[in-house]
Amino acid sequence: MKIHGSNHINFNTYQQQMQEQTVNFEILNQSKQLQKNSQPGAKRAKYVQDIKQTIDSGEYRVNPQKTAKKMIDFGKSINKGT
């Protein structure tokens, strides 16, 4: 039985694992950055809190014309996509 040097397959497997770890690390960093960017700013958080308080107090009033216009615009945008 003859042995032909070291097994290069194992070394290649190690290199592939290292490349996969590098890719996973890069994806993790990108994911963290996206999460950071998707956090609402202080201005937006205050706006949402104000609306919640208005609704809870019963003072929130819906503008039917504005709501209808937004619904129509949304319907038109859906039809454009088909």
pLDDT in tens, 37-67: 777 788 888 999 999 999 999 999 999 999 9
CA separation for the pair 64, 60 (Å, rounded): 13
CA separation for the pair 77, 27 (Å, rounded): 33
More confident residue, 25 or 10: 25
Max CA-CA distance within the chain? Answer: 90
Q: What was the pLDDT predicted at 21?
A: 67
In sequence order, the 6+-apart residues with CB closer than 8 A to the CB of 40 are 48
pTM: 0.39
In sequence order, the 6+-apart residues with CB closer than 8 A to the CB of 35 are none
Does residue 54 contact residue 60 with C-beta atoms inside 8 Å? yes
Question: Which tokens hold the place of 52?
Answer: 């919640």
Q: What was the pLDDT predicted at 50?
A: 95
Does residue 40 contact residue 48 with C-beta atoms inside 8 Å? yes
